[in-house]
Structure 1
Amino acid sequence: MSIFGGSSFGLPRTRPLSSKRAHVVSVLDIGTTKVVCIIARLTPRRESAVLPGRTHNVEVIGLGHQRSHGIKSGVIADLDAVENVVRLAVDAAERMAGLTVESLIVNVSAGRIGSDVYTATIDLGGQEVEAGDLRKVLIAAGQQSQGNDRAVLHSLPTGFSLDGERGIRDPLGMYGDVLGVDMHVVTAERAALRNLELCINRAHLTVEGVVATPYASGLAALVDDEVELGCAAIDMGGGMTTISVFAEGKLIHTDAIGIGGHHVTTDLARGLSTRIEDAERLKVVHGSAVANGADDREVVSVPPIGEDDRDQPTQVSKALLTRIISARIEETLEMLRDRIQKSGFSPVVGKRVVLTGGACQLTGMPEAARRILARNVRIGRPMGVSGLPAAAKGPAFSTAVGLTIYPQMADQETHAGQGGLFSPFGNGNSRFARMGQWLKESF
């Protein structure tokens, strides 16, 4: 399925899940430092106060991951290299699961992810809100987001209003003069999506759906109360750091900056005159985001650049290592703080921030984040799935796990195109799934 076929928004929409049937979902997380393929079996579950809105239990039955090649800050720079890594990751997952993958749900971090809220209103004339009114107001909001150079990844109604009174979750059947809706729309540049699709097609696979990385990582790393009360999930990847803000059970804002853990590694390689792989090892084994009083007394060995075995390692203090690392980490956290403040959602985030992604595992990262962000910070690991190997239970796999969760949450989205309202999601249980059914029956 082509990313640029189908609806006027140009993206394939994830297949709807039946709440009474089991499904097998294949996902692909393409990152700057690693590529992960997960094959998961989704089986129906009973409605529960734990993980509300989740209709299926997720069990991982296949997992493959490879070190990335050909990707820089989330952007595909070498199609051949990325294609080869994708093939290897998918093949490993297929062997573990004992089945063949044909289509995938993939994430996207590149393409300057945009996040906008569009508001639309229609006149009711004092009448009851009917399905047709919902259709009209959703189309009016959705059409504002259409552009030639950008494609819509997610279109989420975050709330309705009646006669200026906001906070109405389901206006169907209520009376008023003016019906309004706030629509959160996440977009990305079409060129980045074309390259993503091309890479996957070259591996003889098709794109089943596209999910913004911050949305996926938030689905995996946040707990129910955080999603409901308001929280920011910060995914610190190898080449990108993304932000997602959730409140009242919905994604309400996303953002991204082109800095990640690999930038810390290159800073070390330049500052200590060593190879990239040696700098990565120094960062993981000896690195810290905060200074320690004993750092001046500790010494680490830095291998030199070159193949001459006669070259001796350089001895440097751990304090120098920490200074190089902390400078980049502080810059990144200050940018995140300013982005959250500038977004206007700082009051919604409140004091709650969850760090996830591989780069957040650096020693001292929570302490540095608490100081600079001035918020309560915890490390978020992927939750809500079973069958994950021990090596894949860390923050580095949050995005991949979130992609397996996404299909059962996708019915919250509404996509409007030239042909009208598209709600191809839904298991029939959520409010928006029922709304979509009403619209389908009425029109």
Structure 2
Amino acid sequence: MSALDHNQAPKTRPMSGKRTALVASLDIGTSKIACMIARLTPCPPSEALGGRSHAVELIGYSQIQSRGVKAGAVVDLAECEQAVRQAVAAAEDMAKVRVESVLLSVSAGRLQGQLIEAAADIKGGAVTSADVSRVTSAGMHHATGEGRTVLHALPISYSLDGVKGVRDAKGMVARQFGVDMNVVTADTTVVKNLMLVVERCHLNVEAMAASPYVAGLSVLTDDEADLGAAVVEMGAGTTTIATYSGGRFMHASGFALGGQHITMDLARGLSACIADAERIKTLYGTVLTGGSDAHELMSVPSAGDDELDVPQVVSHATIANIVRPRAEEIFEMVRDRLADSPFAAEPKARVVLSGGASQLTGILELATRILNRPVRT
């Protein structure tokens, strides 16, 4: 297994704007493992998304039920390895290619973003790429605690002789150069075991990325990222948060609570098996109760093995009364983490929900009430 480089996860190498390439991404989640393979083709800036130099053609993908994973972390190496092999093979068969390396997303390991300021004297007068790397590395080292691995060290802005707000300092002249950056870290053990699973499948981990950062790149509009927004990725075993402002990724955090906890609450509350509870959540899960809900009834099979067990009859209101407290707990934890982030300074900025658990009926109204912000999915 390849070692982490000074407690830093692998990073993507710069790619030539004139080169065509294949890229594979892998998401090892609590409920599903997904693999996507795409072909990147150089194209004029007007034909690509903002800030991108290539067009993306999806040529293969797969999604299978996850095994050996709990709260986004590996708990059974052999089971998880087999599931990853199956997901990657299915995507390869569809794309008719074989991949050697993957981009791996990380949602577990108590993701945490930290705003770091670092500065250094400039020897040559003008800021160079080497100066940027030197100051960024110094700040990153300061932010890395015991047992933590750096996933991202992304500059937010630069300063020249104490004057802040510089967007690109390369080539500019100053005596002292500084950088404000968002350093995102995760538990080293979680990161290493995710890498180990992939490498046991004879694949290299080309780079790792925090899943809320990826979600932000996927679902935010340019205006939302510029004006300020938070992405709340509601997964099965984890809920992760990324905040953006001025078009920059400002903060990340996460906790091990998600849609699977709602499923388990339903299984216990209805005395149903987990598969039936998941189906009930998917089809009838709601956090709203109305006048007719008490009279809308459904049959729930018993969790026992005895075929003679009589199914119980429950109302939609009963389901909502089980789902709502856990959903409220999740959004209360989101609210507390947003209050401890730079996002607290933007009280009217929007929250965008993504992930499977965000599909529950009434979740927008509940999130808007608890977070006291405009919310969309």
- One fold, TM greater than 0.5? yes
Matches within 5 A, 1:49-64: 51-64=49-62
The one-letter amino acid paired with 1:63 is Y
1:332 equivalent among 330, 333, 351 = 330
Task: Please report how far the alpha carbon of residue 102 of structure 1 lies from its aligned counterpart in structure 2 after TM superposition.
Answer: 1.8
- Give the unaligned 5+ runs of structure 2: none
In 1, Cα distance between equivalents of 2:174 and 2:196: 49
Higher relative contact order, chain-length normalized (CA < 8 Å, sep 6+): 1
The one-letter amino acid paired with 1:303 is P
**Equivalent residue number for residue 204 of structure 1:** 202
The one-letter amino acid paired with 1:116 is Q
**Equivalent residue number for residue 429 of structure 1:** none
- Give the unaligned 5+ runs of structure 1: 380-443
In 1, Cα distance between equivalents of 2:144 and 2:38: 33
Task: Please report how far the alpha carbon of residue 245 of structure 1 lies from its aligned counterpart in structure 2 after TM superposition.
Answer: 0.6
Moved more, 232-241 or 302-311: 302-311
Matches within 5 A, 1:46-195: 46-48=44-46, 51-123=49-121, 128-131=125-128, 133-176=131-174, 178-195=176-193
The answer to whether the 8 Å contact 2:251/2:342 transfers is no
Q: Are residue 2 (structure 1) and residue 2 (structure 2) matched?
A: yes
1:220 equivalent among 218, 221, 229 = 218
Aligned residues: 376
Task: Please report how far the alpha carbon of residue 21 of structure 1 lies from its aligned counterpart in structure 2 after TM superposition.
Answer: 1.6
In 2, Cα distance between equivalents of 1:166 and 1:338: 29
The answer to whether the 8 Å contact 1:3/1:10 transfers is no
The one-letter amino acid paired with 1:327 is P
**Equivalent residue number for residue 299 of structure 2:** 301
The answer to whether the 8 Å contact 1:128/1:176 transfers is yes
In 1, Cα distance between equivalents of 2:131 and 2:12: 26
The one-letter amino acid paired with 1:2 is S
The answer to whether the 8 Å contact 2:7/2:188 transfers is no
SS of the residue 1:209 aligns to: strand
1:120–1:284 Cα change, 3 Å: same
Quick one: percent identity of the two aligned structures? 46
The answer to whether the 8 Å contact 1:268/1:325 transfers is yes
Q: Are residue 374 (structure 1) and residue 352 (structure 2) matched?
A: no
In 2, Cα distance between equivalents of 1:136 and 1:197: 27
1:269–1:167 Cα change, 3 Å: same
1:70–1:163 Cα change, 3 Å: same
Task: Please report how far the alpha carbon of residue 173 of structure 1 lies from its aligned counterpart in structure 2 after TM superposition.
Answer: 4.3
In 1, Cα distance between equivalents of 2:102 and 2:81: 14
In 2, Cα distance between equivalents of 1:321 and 1:252: 37
Matches within 5 A, 1:312-327: 312-327=310-325
Matches within 5 A, 1:281-296: 281-296=279-294
Moved more, 79-88 or 144-153: 144-153
Computed over aligned residues only, the root mean square deviation of the Cα atoms, in angstroms, reads 2.0
1:19 equivalent among 14, 17, 20 = 17
In 2, Cα distance between equivalents of 1:207 and 1:290: 43
In 2, Cα distance between equivalents of 1:308 and 1:349: 54
Task: Please report how far the alpha carbon of residue 137 of structure 1 lies from its aligned counterpart in structure 2 after TM superposition.
Answer: 3.1
The answer to whether the 8 Å contact 2:347/2:373 transfers is no
SS of the residue 2:143 aligns to: coil
SS of the residue 2:46 aligns to: coil
1:198–1:139 Cα change, 3 Å: closer
The one-letter amino acid paired with 2:75 is A
